[in-house]
Amino acid sequence: METGDNNAKKFNLEDRTFDFANNCKEFLKKIERNIHNVEYYKQLIRSSGSVAANFIEANESFSRNDFSHRIKICRKEAKESRLWLRLIDINEQELVNSRTMLIQETIELTKIFGAMLEKIKNTN
């Protein structure tokens, strides 16, 4: 997880989505490897990385429709990441706190992407 001044939220979404994917990776390095978690681990790695990758693609899009489509994928993958985070079995308080922070980030990213889509819709 990020250290330093965490009160100052990142406004660069490319960096923020990268940090989210990276923080998920670091979180997963600490979880117990059991039959359930192994599958959730794979899914979370894919979905959290997809948020970042699709946001980069959105920024490089050639049309408003392509941008909107990529942002919808970002929102969907953030929601999916939240699901996998909730399903992972953990029992250490430090990991519970880390998971809570990651889930909060999925909620915030989902709201940001939703607001972007509303703005696009309202400017048509």
Give which of 50, 14, 49, 7 is closest to 28, Cα–Cα: 49
Domains along the chain with CATH numbers: 13-122 (1.20.1440.60)
Q: How far apart are CA 89 and CA 70, in angstroms?
A: 31
Which residue is associated with the tokens 């250490």? 92
Q: Is the pTM of this model over 0.85?
A: yes
pLDDT tens-place string over residues 61-91: 999 999 999 999 999 999 999 999 999 999 8
CA 56, 48, 109, 8 torsion-angle sign: negative
Q: How far apart are CA 28 and CA 120, in angstroms?
A: 35
32 contacts 59 by C-beta, under 8 angstroms: no
